Amino acid sequence: MSEPVDDPARQLQNRLDIALATNFDLALVFLPAADIALYVAEGRVDLGITGRDMVQESNVDVQELLQLGFGKCKLCVQAPIKSNIKNPKDLCGKRIVTSFPTLAAKYFKELDPTKTTSIHYVSGSVEAACALGLADGIVDLVETGDTMRAAGLEVVSEIMTTEALLVANPHTAHKELVDTFRKRIAGALTAERHVMIEYNVERARLAEAVKITPGKKSPTLSPLDDANWVAVKCLILLSESNTKMDQLEKIGARDILIYNIHNCRVSNE
C-alpha cells in the first residue's frame, strides 16, 4: 500500500492542468479566464492573468499590477441593425442576452432604475440570440466587429474597454515573490515594446535631441574625441522608431543605429 502524499508540490506535479516553474518558486495553474479573478481574490492563488472585464464581472477584490497590452477589446451593448435602436435606454425593460450578467444588469439598472431589464446568461454564441428570438439586444465583447456585423448587429453603446491584466491577491502572504514576478513581467514587456537607439549629435543641438529621445528615465551620454560632438543612447518605443530617426536626422544627428532588445531583460524601474 502506498503512503499518502502530503506534499502539495508532489500532488501538483501529477496534475495535467498545473506546471511547476524550475527556477522560481511558482506553480502555474491553468483555469478558465472567467474563474481566475475569484480564485485570486478568495483562494490560495497569489497572482493571475485575466481580462479586466472578467475581474469586474466577478465583482471581487483584486489588486491590478500590470496592463499586459494584449486581448484588447470593448464590452458593448448591441442590437439588430434593422431594429434601428440607437439609444441603450430603448433596451431598458427588454430582453438582454450576455455572458456578463453582472455588468449588464448594473449597466441597465443605472440607465433606468424604474424598469426591470431581463438579463439572460449564455456561455457562448451570444450574437445569435437576437436572430433566434431570445433577445432584443445583447451585451458582448467586440474586437474587430466582424462577428457582430455577420450576425446583423451594431454597437448601440460601449460599457467598458478591456485587456489582459496581471492581478494579485491583496492579502497574499508572499508579497516579495509577487513583486519579483511583477518586475520580471514588466521588464519583459519593456524589452518587447522598445528598441535601443544610438547616435552622435553636436553638443549645440543636444537639448533638441534629448527632447526627441528622452528615454525611460534619461539618455546615456558619452563624450567623443571631437569635443563638439556627443554620443547618445536610450530606449524608444518600437512603434515610434522610424519617426524618431527622421526627427534626429533633421537636427543633424549622425551614425544613427537602432537595434532590437527583444531577447534581453530590461528592468522596468
User: Mind listing the pLDDT tens digit for each residue in 57-88?
Assistant: 999 999 999 999 999 999 999 999 999 999 99
Mean of the pLDDT values across residues 203-228? 94
Could you tell me the domains of the chain?
Answer: 8-70+164-189 (3.40.190.10), 73-162 (3.40.190.10), 194-260 (3.30.70.120)
- Output the pLDDT for position 11: 56
SS3 104: helix
Question: What is the distance of C-alpha 120 from the center of its chain?
Answer: 28
More confident residue, 3 or 187: 187
Say if residue 9's pLDDT is above 90.
no
- Output the pLDDT for position 97: 97
- Output the pLDDT for position 139: 97
Mean of the pLDDT values across residues 158-176? 95
Backbone CA torsion sign across 121, 122, 125, 128: negative
- Output the pLDDT for position 1: 37
What does the DSSP 8-state code read for residue 160?
E
